[in-house]
A and B are shown apart, each in its own frame.
Chain A
Amino acid sequence: MSTKLLTVSSSPHIHQNQGVSSIMWGVVIAMIPAFAVSVYNFGVGAVYVTALSVAFCIMFEYLIVKYLLKKTPTIMDGSAAITGVLLAFNVPSNLPWWIILIGALVAIGIGKLSFGGLGNNPFNPALVGRVFLLISFPVQMTSWPKAGESLLAIDGETGATPLGLLKDGLKNGDSVSQLMGEIPSHLDFFFGLQGGSTGEISALALLLGLGYMLYKKIITWHIPFTIFGTVLAISTVFWMVNPEQFADPIFHLLTGGLMLGAIFMATDYVTSPMTAKGMIIYAIGIGFITMMIRFFGSYPEGISFAILIMNAFVPLLNKYVKPARFGKEVKNG
């Protein structure tokens, strides 16, 4: 008779070793290229905003979970850090510290913990924070430092984003071809030599992050590529109908927060659908609403609103869009 005490549990007895925190930190790693470009473009402002935002988010997560919810805080799982980075990526790099503090409080306190914390929030916390700030502090939230001109200064010269220039210009009766003269080239957008929120400016850097997350199997292709495809399809149709009123599809793909939103925010596990089919419907919705806001809305950019609106449909999608089951059902008995 063996005297050794054996562990007895039910199958399976092996596990892949990727836990929640390794996935979360994987997402943080995927955001490094975008962060690097933002530091290159906006200098210390980018570091300042990102560091503050992450610190505030982790702080609020800790304080609220420990003293209000009276549970054990799990700040090292990386999810609060992701919210912090994403919030910073979505605001101008010259945003005052107290606005960031409010944004972090709204993101973590209202966006995440008021619903029960990780896994239970219906809306992307960083976007809840961002949209709250956009509505509450419209001036500060839409005064972007110009890329490359404020390397060491926090209070540099400010300017509009390409989408803002386009929207204002069209309102004043200018045509797209006139406005394109004042806007950087598509290649500049691709590398990130443009104004905008801290982390959204370089399509290349964001795509590198996407590649990393796909390679590490953190996310699947469904959401980002369906958003890209939908945006391309809709903007192509409008552009072909009237190229003087609507900018070209590549412009729409590369500008604004589209890449950032499609790659890092629409793909948020907690607030996106559970099935591949659901993800595709959700992503088409995001692409569509984004383009409608860009074309016809009063804001120049729409992906934040689009994601939040589609977040609201996720419970419905989960309920009614089921995966393809194996084998037809036969009634027996």
Chain B
Amino acid sequence: MFRLFDSLKTFPKGGVHPPENKFSAGAAIEELPLPKMVHIPISQHIGAPSEPVVERGEAVKVGQIIAKSAGFVSANIHSSVSGKVAKIQNMIDSSGFVRTVISVRVKGDDWEESIDRSPDLVKEISIEAKDIIQKTLDNGIVGLGGAAFPSHVKLSVPRGKKAEYLILNGVECEPYLTADHRLMLEKADEIMVGAQILMKALDVTKCIVGIENNKLDAIEVMSQKAKDYEGISVQALKVQYPQGGEKQLIKAVINREVPSGGLPIDVGAVVHNVGTTYAVYQAVQKNKPLLERVVTLTGKSVSKPSNFMVRIGTPISELIEAAGGLPEDTGKIISGGPMMGKALTSTDIPVAKATSGVLIIPENESRRGVVEACIRCSKCVGVCPMGLEPYLLMTQGEKAMFEESENDRVMDCIECGSCVYECPSNRPLLDWIRLSKVKVNTIRKERAKN
């Protein structure tokens, strides 16, 4: 165990360390019973929403494609259950927007024959790089860490660029969440084979799994397994939020800085979440589309903090019931972690591909503090992992000084929320920064047109 402590790398600048509250860390992944109805959003990824290819009343099987990718940055959507398409309707999703969902009434559990449902580990990788990319596209694989970026895009290295490192993100730096942690403990072999598949697709020989040091058991299990797989190593990292951010993780693991406005591939790195890697394994070796994922259901008042294997489209209310019901003192429900997650408007909202957790926050912690004057303590500057000046960006936002904001690199903001977390005056720094980002984006588009 001692070796775990000898070189605790981290990103060098900024960051915060909120209380971890990983109550569900010891809860093994449980299969959630099938819901009566699922609502599968057609937009569960960054990029163009996919186009429905089923109609109302049509019978569907588990794994059947129900909406097709509509562009390069887009992903296929598969039915996570078997039954009848009840409705194609509009619903509020976890982002708070009204989006189209395909609602399927569940009947039985009838799977597509092409899917290998056996638990056997398939180590042998028998397909070529370009077919791996095709399979991730076909099976609707997107990043499961939160941003839901379609995986085949990340695997298609642009001409003239070369990947050197595959970095697996097992950091899970958001407080409360334990989905990736449990997956690394329970599916380490599958993740290793998934990593081999990704390495083959990217044509790299080095893969480093970054895991924060508050998951010693996962570091131990993954390190043991990695010995059997060529080129894979595990890097224990100091616990520091937002280390799970792609740019921070790359800096921590291989000490390279992704340029402002650039991509990880510009410094020879491609990052995939461990959950995504598991999904890639299933897609390539088992022919299984992305139709279920691990979701943490937790909170201070939750009677049974859990990790569930959930079919995509399952209403969040079902998870809450399975974890002992909605606590009396519930004030806020978050999809994702407390630092970057989205507050939900109801418990009917379905689990999507990027739903890593559902966090129930008690009433007494659910409201923001009273906003006070900026005392210029500079803590926001000190904690910004991107080296920005949040206090200044907020003022520029308030005064509509968007050109100045652009020059002060507002677009570099990764919206990690460290500045707001730290601000003693409870100032809504990130709200203004988000507004500025939207405005600067519009200005840039205008500029490109002219």
* A interface, CB within 8 angstroms of B: 1-2, 4, 6-16, 18-20, 22-23, 74, 77, 79, 117-120, 220, 269-270, 272-276, 318, 322-333
Chain B interface: which size bin?
Answer: 35 or more
* Closest A residue to B17 using CB positions: A16
Alpha-carbon distance A269/B382, docked complex (angstroms): 13
Confirm or deny: B175 has a beta carbon within 8 angstroms of a beta carbon on chain A.
yes
Q: Is the CB of A8 within 8 A of B424?
A: no
- Give the residues in chain A near B318, CB-CB below 8 Å: none
Alpha-carbon distance A7/B334, docked complex (angstroms): 10
Alpha-carbon distance A258/B261, docked complex (angstroms): 46
* Closest B residue to A273 using CB positions: B378
Q: Is the CB of A11 within 8 A of B376?
A: no
Interface centre among B345, B377, B444 (most CB of A within 10 A): B377
Q: Known contacts A6-B330, A9-B368, A20-B373; can you find 13 more A-B pairs with CB under 8 A?
A: A2-B346, A6-B345, A8-B96, A10-B431, A13-B341, A14-B365, A19-B372, A322-B408, A326-B257, A326-B387, A328-B257, A329-B261, A329-B409
Confirm or deny: B224 has a beta carbon within 8 angstroms of a beta carbon on chain A.
no
Q: Is the CB of A16 within 8 A of B259?
A: no
Q: Do most interface residues of chain B lie in helix, strand or loop, or is the interface mixed?
A: loop
Complex A-B, nearest 10 residue pairs according to Cβ-Cβ distance, in ascending order: A12-B417, A325-B387, A119-B373, A274-B378, A7-B366, A8-B343, A14-B338, A329-B260, A7-B332, A269-B377
- Give the residues in chain B near A333, CB-CB below 8 Å: 444, 448
7 pairs from A and B in contact (CB 8 Å cutoff): A1-B346, A8-B344, A12-B417, A20-B425, A323-B388, A325-B412, A332-B261
Alpha-carbon distance A19/B425, docked complex (angstroms): 6
Alpha-carbon distance A6/B257, docked complex (angstroms): 40
Q: Is the CB of A16 within 8 A of B385?
A: no
- Give the residues in chain B near A274, CB-CB below 8 Å: 376, 378, 381, 389, 391-392
Q: Is the CB of A13 within 8 A of B389?
A: no
Q: Do most interface residues of chain A lie in helix, strand or loop, or is the interface mixed?
A: loop
Binary flags per residue of B385-414, CB closer than 8 Å to A gives 1, else 0: 111110110000000000000001100100
Confirm or deny: B207 has a beta carbon within 8 angstroms of a beta carbon on chain A.
no
Alpha-carbon distance A275/B365, docked complex (angstroms): 31
Alpha-carbon distance A329/B389, docked complex (angstroms): 16
A7-B343, A16-B18 in contact; A327/B257 too (CB < 8 A)? Answer: yes
* B interface, CB within 8 angstroms of A: 13, 16, 18, 96, 175, 247, 251, 257-262, 266, 317, 326, 330-334, 338-348, 359, 361, 365-369, 372-378, 381-382, 384-389, 391-392, 408-409, 412, 415, 417, 420-422, 424-426, 430-431, 434, 444, 448
- Give the residues in chain A near B431, CB-CB below 8 Å: 10
Contact of A11 among B13, B346, B365, B430 (CB under 8 A): B430
Q: Is the CB of B338 within 8 A of A13?
A: yes
CB distance from B406 to the nearest CB of A (A): 11
Alpha-carbon distance A205/B417, docked complex (angstroms): 37
Contact of B343 among A9, A322, A324 (CB under 8 A): A9
CB distance from A61 to the nearest CB of B (A): 13
